[in-house]
Structure 1
Amino acid sequence: MQPRPVGPIVLLMRKFFGYILSPVFYLLFGIVITVFHPVQWLCLKLGGYQAHKKSVDTLNWCLVACYYVLGNTVKFVNKQPLPTDRPILFVANHQSMYDIPPLIFFLRKHHGKFISKIELAKGIPSISFNLRHGGAANIDRKDPKQSIAEILKLANHMKTKKWSAFIFPEGTRSKTGKVKPFNVGGIATILKKVPDVLVVPVVINRSWEMVRYGFFPLNTFTRMSWEVLPPIEPQGLSAEEVVAQAEARIKTKILVN
């Protein structure tokens, strides 16, 4: 699919407003993650998992709201009757770090956990705390044994607690929105260890435009969208076939300039 082309004058104006609005965005974003760091700690200590999860859901609602400071909008479409009593593996393309809060908030009833880089599990207020204590699989890409152990731990929680998981099989973010080849590894492990898992593709569009110019300025007046696509029943399919189907479904819905 091809989006409507944007003229150079419009791009220039959006960049200009980015210089003005980005500092406001970063200020609000920083306040949110700073405030919710002790909130998460208190919720976890006093109320356990459920209270901590509610604080994380609220955190991510606030982070999504920050996008609107830039004039950016979030459209989340989920027309799929997804089960809540069965673990789900959400497979999505990856365009920016701003892909994540809408996934957590709008799919919150599925208790989704991320397979993420271990580097993100320290040093970032709120976000690192949640990755360490919220059930994520924090993998060290330089240590295959550690990575497998983390994914197996998450898979066990998916089986016993009916949690779900998010995975970005491209491995790295796409800077242009074009989908990179999907890796099978992490998906294959979960398919093997969680026999009743349902695989659900999610297509993310235009998130990359928010970081078109990098860290600063952030882009403005961007219509970003997340859409949950029809599920894939993995029974009877190889991991390669499941990944190929998810990749193909996402590619048919992707918007590329």
Structure 2
Amino acid sequence: MTVPYTEILVVGGLLLLPILYESSHVFRYHLKFFVYYFIVMFNSVLLIPVFCLRAKNVKNLILASYFCRWITALIGIRWILRGSDNLHEERACIIVSNHQSSLDILGMFNIWPTMGKCTVVAKRELFFAWPFGLAAWLAGLIFIPRVQKDEAKVIMNKAAEKIKSDKTKLFIFPEGTRRNTGQIHPFKKGAFHLAISAQLPILPVTFSRYYFLDKETKRFDSGVVIVNALDAIDTKGMTFGNLDDLMENVRDKMSASFRDSTKEVLDMVHHNNLCSQKNL
């Protein structure tokens, strides 16, 4: 009885995977992102019929988080949440966070049960990345056009009215573009303009640096991320004349949190490496 060549190739490929994973950081980088995106897309297909039963309900995102948060164990990331009481409080607010990678979404999946009712502002192009885009729309994500600023303002103002009446949190990445460069980059004004206009508090959240990830060298190792939810900053009584000061205040607080949490993580990793070496 002859064994089909396809079966030999499949078995050989499976046996080769662990070797490539351990020996090639480029292969490991692409495999981890493939696993991440594939599972998210697969879960989107599973959840779309469920989301249709309560379309545009942001609580669908909490359900999605339970389906997706376990991906972190597969790709070797551990998330540590600090300041959970600030996130858990049921209130309407604008959450602003630094933006380093698409892994930020995975980090959000891990803290969504704590955030409770929360939705996200995303660029409209993401809607067309089906099935994820359709599932996200059904889960209540707010898609805005990047170029058409007038339309974006109308969408955001309507969103502010709804989150205020429903006591929902609105998650925004004010840097706009994701950059893993070890610093908090200048903010765009949209989130802060909205917070002042609707008189909603700003709740800063920082993700410590993804030291384990490097897009240029295609490196994606295991790692730890500290997610720090800071105290909310009240905007009651503020006018647009306070906009620049508010942005500077928030960015200063987030930069300090980002710097401190990144140092803590790196010290933690260094300590663990020393302990591992002593045990050898």
- With the shorter chain as reference, the TM-score category is 0.7 to 0.9
- Is the contact between residue 201 and residue 229 of structure 1 (CA under 8 Å) also seen in structure 2? yes
Greater gyration radius: 2
- Is the contact between residue 80 and residue 229 of structure 1 (CA under 8 Å) also seen in structure 2? no
User: Which segments of 5 or more consecutive residues in structure 2 lack a partner in the other structure?
Assistant: 1-21, 267-280
- Is the contact between residue 93 and residue 169 of structure 2 (CA under 8 Å) also seen in structure 1? yes
- Distance, in Å, in 1 between the alignment partners of 2:100 and 2:182 is 6
CA shift for structure 1 position 81: 4.3
2:189 corresponds to 1:184: yes
- Distance, in Å, in 1 between the alignment partners of 2:101 and 2:94 is 20
SS in 1 for 2:206: strand
2:205 corresponds to 1:205: no
Question: What do residues 190-248 of structure 1 show as CA deviations (whole Å, max 9, x unaligned)?
Answer: 321x22x22111011234744x237x966121212211012211234422222211111
Who is 1:219 aligned against?
Answer: 220
State which of 245, 250, 256 in structure 1 corresponds to 2:249.
Answer: 245
- Is the contact between residue 62 and residue 116 of structure 2 (CA under 8 Å) also seen in structure 1? no
Who is 1:5 aligned against?
Answer: none
- Distance, in Å, in 1 between the alignment partners of 2:84 and 2:37 is 33
Task: Assess, with a 3 A threshold, how the Cα gap between structure 1 residues 139 and 19 changes in structure 2: closer, same or farther.
Answer: closer
Question: What do residues 45-81 of structure 1 show as CA deviations (whole Å, max 9, x unaligned)?
Answer: 6xx83xx72x421222332211221222122222444
The RMSD of aligned alpha carbons is 3.0
- Is the contact between residue 86 and residue 231 of structure 2 (CA under 8 Å) also seen in structure 1? no
Q: 2:117 corresponds to which letter in structure 1? A: H
Give the TM-score normalised by the residue count of structure 1.
0.78
- Distance, in Å, in 2 between the alignment partners of 1:143 and 1:218 is 36
Between 1:76-85 and 1:170-179, the stretch displaced more is: 76-85
SS in 2 for 1:166: strand
1:157-168 equivalences in 2 (<5 Å): 157-168=162-173
Who is 1:149 aligned against?
Answer: 154
- Distance, in Å, in 2 between the alignment partners of 1:22 and 1:81 is 31
**For this pair of structures, how many residues does the alignment match?**
236
- Is the contact between residue 32 and residue 75 of structure 2 (CA under 8 Å) also seen in structure 1? yes
- Is the contact between residue 71 and residue 221 of structure 1 (CA under 8 Å) also seen in structure 2? yes
- Is the contact between residue 98 and residue 175 of structure 2 (CA under 8 Å) also seen in structure 1? yes
State which of 117, 137, 152 in structure 2 corresponds to 1:132.
Answer: 137
- Is the contact between residue 121 and residue 170 of structure 2 (CA under 8 Å) also seen in structure 1? yes
Flag the structure with more relative contact order, 1 or 2, with Cα contacts below 8 A and sequence separation at least 6.
1
CA shift for structure 1 position 17: 4.2
Task: Assess, with a 3 A threshold, how the Cα gap between structure 1 residues 130 and 35 changes in structure 2: closer, same or farther.
Answer: closer
- Is the contact between residue 126 and residue 133 of structure 2 (CA under 8 Å) also seen in structure 1? yes
Who is 2:50 aligned against?
Answer: 39
Higher helix residue share:
2
2:129 corresponds to 1:119: no
- Is the contact between residue 26 and residue 219 of structure 2 (CA under 8 Å) also seen in structure 1? yes
Task: Assess, with a 3 A threshold, how the Cα gap between structure 1 residues 253 and 12 changes in structure 2: closer, same or farther.
Answer: farther
Question: What do residues 119-170 of structure 1 show as CA deviations (whole Å, max 9, x unaligned)?
Answer: 1122332x32344233333111111111001101111102221211011111
Give the TM-score normalised by the residue count of structure 2.
0.72
Task: Assess, with a 3 A threshold, how the Cα gap between structure 1 residues 208 and 44 changes in structure 2: closer, same or farther.
Answer: farther
- Is the contact between residue 22 and residue 217 of structure 1 (CA under 8 Å) also seen in structure 2? no
- Distance, in Å, in 1 between the alignment partners of 2:120 and 2:225 is 21
The percent identity for this pair of structures is 19
SS in 1 for 2:192: helix
